[in-house]
Amino acid sequence: MRWYWIDRFLEFESGRSAKAVKLISMAEDHMHDHFPGCPIMPNSLVVEGMAQTGGLLVCEHTGFQAKVVLAKIPKVQFHLNVSPGDTLTYSAEIDHIDDNGAMVTATSHHGDRLQAEIEFVFAHLNSGQRDRTLFEPETFLKMMRMLGAFEVGHAADGSPLVAPPLLTGKGS
């Protein structure tokens, strides 16, 4: 992943839900071009921020072992634009997860106002694709650490969220 469209996690509950925040700043290059004189955050990047929040939730649930890709966006609706100085809060919830993938719903709020709502379908790649190197799980682990997921997160049983032993070199 080259760009992070979330700044930090506020909450992270393994296999269930996550909440992250994105601070919109004029320091971001895209804000100067979209639109000159009246900058607004492109909706595609809001979608990406919600997808990263939900996608990391799905990846962590599998111990970063499944190759997870965004397969489909069945529904998306935007209610308002956001500009530099605004803060977005992304909330993602796993509706269903199994060996084939996951259904995730997410929202974006600006303060107490609903900014966007979306449904995602994430797919776990089939066995024919599992041997292809599309990304390294360690990249996602690094992102989770950098964004503070292990500081605020907890497992389904309420215990603190920890990195999978296989990725930290503490497993077999």
Radius of gyration of the chain from Cα atoms? Answer: 16
Instruction: Measure the CA–CA gap between 29 and 22, rounded to whole angstroms.
Output: 15
Residue 66 phi/psi, 5-degree rounding, is -80, 145
Q: Spot the catalytic one: 34, 61, 109, 154.
A: 34
Instruction: Measure the CA–CA gap between 51 and 22, rounded to whole angstroms.
Output: 13
- Strand blocks (E) in 7-133: 8-13, 17-23, 68-78, 87-98, 101-110, 113-124
Active site residue 110: no
Q: Which residues are catalytic?
A: 34
